[in-house]
Structure 1
């Protein structure tokens, strides 16, 4: 079969570390275009991988007519670019948070439907080996009903990750829309929904800028979640874990507890009430310092090649974003928000 012609819009860190190398190593893909307003960035990847460099995504869509695009741009551009790409007949993989508002997510989903293309959101946490293993164990039901949980995602902040360092768009509210919650929190709302196969019913949250100076985006949040099943738990997102990252989840169930990424050697640990302990080495979680294949690109390409709708769909991305937007509502109103 002929290769899928892919364009990458936005040539910052997520494109550099995940999207571009993972497309390049996928035998079903031909990279045909790179877009970045800083044209040198796009030219750098075109020189490396072939294809053409553009400063304008609209020019690229009109000229190249790619089969698929990755949208790896500041958050405020996700909806506009995803809709334009869908209208140009391209399948869309958009980075998280998929958009800044629910209205935008609905417009994106509608554009993909109308044009008969796939819309997938880059929620890579679902595909990381420890989370795949944990999902398998939880789905087996041997731990019984989920009662409580805590999930956290923190690192020292985007200044160490973004190609623009402290000058990054991540710190500008009009471009980022949200800070640690859009960067990390939405990954964890997606993960907990997925692992528990449950929806969030109520959210109460403290969200604020606690320590990063000169920015008005949130750098920390602690959220209380009540699930439809009745399970309750916490979700934490932080850009001030200066001593090192945390991407752990602990789920307490009737028959025991499952601990994910709490131990340096065993990524998943199950402790049963009968005294049995199971330890699983399944491969590490990807981090900003230590990249591993995210699985997202291969999953997206596989969906296109085999003509099957993405599991991490626009609808799924929208449900995970709703939880985060509810947390901001809770912070603003001092109330518990029902979804």
Structure 2
């Protein structure tokens, strides 16, 4: 079997380093190059891994060797990069959120469809062991029909371009709604029909974006969801944040703490505790599932539409905050 050749566009998002490590571990994949307008951002990894470097991503897209690309740019560039990649005939994994408006996400999905390439949204939380087992239990009917889901994705304030609205498109409500909202969409098998949200800047007064958020959702099938999306974890917190869900059904409930597979280390050097995660590498399994799908001619396991359905809830949340009332999708 010929190897799948994959390029990477932008390391602005730190997930790119983990995705690259995952790709390099896959025996049926060859990484053909990295494109990043900031040479200093990727200089070390290019040198250590012996990879080709492109300052202009269009040179990588013009490389006939690349079958697919992984895009980890600032949020506002996702649409342009994805559409250009689709026109170049490259399959795409795009970092979340898929886009910063519904209209541009629809254009991304259409461009990939019209050019016959796959678009996958990077939602690695679907590959966490606790999440996978909970989904299997729900599908077996162990808790009956889902009535409600309470979730959290409480993180630390990321800084950098994440807090620049011109590059991020939003704050915590956009950044931390999408992962667990995708899980809610996946578990319920339904679309959100109404959103009511709160967002404010409570923990870091200097920010131009929200760092606190709470989003409430009604799904078409009658399920209710609520999600804490806040950047409420201080620098002293043992890890960047959490991913949890309480899934309430007609016959029982499931509690999911997706990052609970960890050891606790208390360091005198840093003056705080650390959570050392020892569970399965979600980024590795996500990249493996994407590349396996391409190698076997199957649909990407997490689609561009999945990314759109998740991000549109966050965007509706901002509209709700502005209006002070629920918003229908």
Q: TM-score, normalised by structure 1?
A: 0.86
1:2-81 aligned at under 5 Å gives the runs 2-12=2-12, 13-16=14-17, 18-63=18-63, 66-81=66-81
Q: For 1:338 and 1:5, how far apart are their aligned partners in 2? A: 42
Q: For 1:263 and 1:63, how far apart are their aligned partners in 2? A: 38
- Aligned-pair CA distance for 1:236: 1.2
Report the counterpart of residue 247 of structure 1 in structure 2: 243
Report the counterpart of residue 225 of structure 1 in structure 2: 217
Residue 238 of structure 1 aligns to a residue in which SS? Answer: coil
Call closer, same or farther: CA 1:101–1:192 in 2, change over 3 Å: same
Call closer, same or farther: CA 1:27–1:232 in 2, change over 3 Å: same
Q: For 1:64 and 1:208, how far apart are their aligned partners in 2? A: 47
Deviations 1:71-98 (A, max 9, x none): 0010000010011111111100000000
Residue 179 of structure 2 aligns to a residue in which SS? Answer: helix
Q: For 2:191 and 2:165, how far apart are their aligned partners in 1? A: 28
Q: For 1:265 and 1:39, how far apart are their aligned partners in 2? A: 36
Whether 1:201 and 2:202 are equivalent positions in the alignment is no
- Aligned-pair CA distance for 1:218: 1.8
For residue 300 of structure 2, the aligned residue among 310, 314, 324 is 310
Alignment RMSD (CA, Å): 2.0
Deviations 1:245-292 (A, max 9, x none): 2311001111111100189579xxxxxxxxxxxxxxxxxxxx996483
- Aligned-pair CA distance for 1:206: 0.4
On the 8 A contact 1:138/1:196 being kept in 2, the answer is: no
Call closer, same or farther: CA 1:129–1:38 in 2, change over 3 Å: same
Q: For 2:154 and 2:43, how far apart are their aligned partners in 1? A: 33
254-263 or 317-326: which moved more? 254-263
Whether 1:119 and 2:111 are equivalent positions in the alignment is no
Report the counterpart of residue 259 of structure 1 in structure 2: 255
- Aligned-pair CA distance for 1:64: 5.5
Q: TM-score, normalised by structure 2?
A: 0.89
- Aligned-pair CA distance for 1:233: 2.7
Q: For 2:35 and 2:127, how far apart are their aligned partners in 1? A: 27
Q: For 1:72 and 1:264, how far apart are their aligned partners in 2? A: 26
For residue 171 of structure 2, the aligned residue among 172, 179, 186 is 179
- Aligned-pair CA distance for 1:65: 5.1
On the 8 A contact 2:10/2:72 being kept in 1, the answer is: yes
Deviations 1:172-203 (A, max 9, x none): 10000012223221111111111122221111
Residue 202 of structure 1 aligns to a residue in which SS? Answer: strand
On the 8 A contact 1:22/1:293 being kept in 2, the answer is: no
Deviations 1:155-184 (A, max 9, x none): 2221xxxxxxx4x11111000001222322
